Amino acid sequence: MKDLSLHVLDIVQNALAAGAEQVRILVEESVPRNCLVIAVEDNGKGMSQDVLDRVTDPYFTTRTTRKVGLGIPLLKQNAEQCGGGLLIESAPGRGTRLVAEFVRDHIDRPALGDMPGVVAMLSGINQDRDFIYHHRVDERDYCFDTREVKQILEGVPLGEASVMRSIREMIGENLKDLEKAE
Amino acid sequence: MTKIKSLADLKKMKEDFQSKIALREKSEKPEGRVLIKVAMATCGIASGAKQVMEFLIDELDKRNIDAIVSQTGCMGYCYAEPTVEVTLPGKEPVVFGYVDEAKADSIIEKYIKNGELLEGIIPVNYETID
Residue A81 has pLDDT above 70, yes or no: yes
B22 touching A, CB under 8 A?
no
What average pLDDT is seen over chain A? Answer: 93
Residues of B with CB below 8 A from A67's CB? 130
pLDDT of residue A65: 77
**Closest residue by Cα to residue B73 from A118, A62, A1:** A62
> Which among B4, B41, B46 has the least Cβ separation from residue A169?
B4
Q: Which amino acid is at B127?
A: E
* DSSP-H helix ranges across A82-160: 115-125, 146-153
Residue B128 has pLDDT above 80, yes or no: no
pLDDT of residue B127: 57
pLDDT of residue B51: 97
* CATH superfamily label, B33-114: Glutaredoxin (3.40.30.10)
Residue B21 has pLDDT above 60, yes or no: yes
What average pLDDT is seen over chain B? Answer: 88
- In our burial notation (b when 16+ CB lie closer than 10 A, e otherwise), range A66-84 reads bebbbbbbbbbebbeebbb
Closest Cα of chain B to A151: distance in Å? 10
Q: Which residues, in sequence order, are bridge partners of residue A130?
A: A22
More reliable by pLDDT, A62 or A119: A119
Measured distance CA(A48)–CA(A31) in Å, rounded = 36
Q: Counting runs of H as helices and runs of E as strands, what totals does chain B give?
A: 6, 5
Q: pTM score, two decimals? A: 0.92
Do residues A12 and A25 lie in contact, with contact meaning Cβ atoms separated by under 8 Å? yes
Closest Cα of chain A to B86: distance in Å? 16
Measured distance CA(B77)–CA(B95) in Å, rounded = 10
**Closest residue by Cα to residue B72 from A67, A147, A63:** A63
Residue A182 has pLDDT above 60, yes or no: no
pLDDT of residue B25: 76
* Kind plus residue range of the DSSP H or E element containing B31: none
Model ipTM value: 0.90
pLDDT of residue A7: 95
Residue B20 has pLDDT above 80, yes or no: yes
* Kind plus residue range of the DSSP H or E element containing A136: strand A130-137
Q: Cα torsion for A118, A122, A123, A129, to the nearest 10°?
A: -150
Could you read off the pLDDT of A11-49 as tens digits, one per residue? 999 999 999 999 999 999 999 999 999 999 999 999 999
With a pLDDT cut of 90, the percent of chain A lying above it is: 84
pLDDT of residue B32: 78
Measured distance CA(A53)–CA(A88) in Å, rounded = 10
Measured distance CA(A41)–CA(A15) in Å, rounded = 8
pLDDT of residue B118: 86
Could you read off the pLDDT of B29-79 as tens digits, one per residue? 667 789 999 999 999 999 999 999 999 999 999 998 989 999 998 888 889
Could you read off the pLDDT of A98-144 as tens digits, one per residue? 999 999 999 999 999 999 999 999 999 999 999 999 999 998 999 99
Domain ranges of chain B: 1-29, 33-114
Residue A91 has pLDDT above 80, yes or no: yes
Residue A68 has pLDDT above 80, yes or no: no
Closest Cα of chain B to A118: distance in Å? 8
Distances (CA, A) of A138 to A29, A115, A142: 6, 18, 11
pLDDT bracket for residue A181 (50, 70, 90): low
pLDDT of residue A5: 97
A&B contacts, CB < 8 Å: 103
**Bridge pairing between strands A85-90 and A96-103:** antiparallel
Are A9 and B50 a contacting pair at CB < 8 A? yes
pLDDT bracket for residue A150 (50, 70, 90): very high
Measured distance CA(A101)–CA(A83) in Å, rounded = 8
